Amino acid sequence: MLCRMVLLPRKKKTGTVPVYLNVYDLTPINGYAYWLGLGIYHSGVQVHGVEYGFGAHDHPSTGIFEVEPRQCPGFTFRKSILIGRTDLGPKEVRSFMEKLAQDYSGNSYHLITKNCNHFCNDVCIKLTGKTIPRWVNRLARLELNETKVRQVRSQTNVKAGDKKKLRSRSSRLLSTSNAGIMPPRAYPSAFK
């Protein structure tokens, strides 16, 4: 029996203006780690000749910033990846960034759960309907998974410790207060 597979075209946002993800190395070790699918990266989204990024600071004001494309200070440029295209004009992109600034304050930055790569992913989805490549933020995902495993293990250990305490308390209660407990009443069996 033959199966016929029908592939429906996926809805993709198309436009005329290219949207690039600019990826930077945070450490020289990336030169080796990159080929193993690992690394620590900073990223920014380039559209209309402006690169938008997200970074940490101690204030509740926005952590979103603009730089010259491929020139983010403090990082070594690695590569530029075409994510897709958008029809949003420069003013619309700027307006979108201003709205996004409410969610991306500098003091909300978190290396594992809300970093520059998360920001770029959100921007790329909005502008193109596509996500950034998974390898760009792989280290945060690996660290997040490891943290979750540690939390589950510590919760399991706490629960096991609580059970031991409960067991030891209940056996102490029974052994110390057995003299005061009445034996169960003998009920006549209804099913003789």
Pair 156, 128: CB distance under 8 Å: no
Write out the residue range of the structural domain in which residue 23 sits: 17-141
Residue 134 lies in a domain: yes
Q: 50-54 and 64-67: which strand pairing?
A: antiparallel
Pair 82, 20: CB distance under 8 Å: yes
Residue 42 designated active-site: yes
Pair 129, 86: CB distance under 8 Å: no
Given 42, 72, 118, 124, which residue is catalytic?
Answer: 42
Provide the whole-model pTM.
0.68
Task: Please list the ranges in the chain whose pLDDT falls under 70.
Answer: 1-13, 141-192
Residue 33 lies in a domain: yes
| Residue 123 belongs to domain with CATH number | 3.90.1720.30
pLDDT value of residue 31: 85
Given 48, 57, 72, 116, which residue is catalytic?
Answer: 116
Number of domains in the chain: 1
Residue 79 lies in a domain: yes
Residue 183 lies in a domain: no
Q: What is the DSSP letter of 93?
A: H
Residue 3 lies in a domain: no
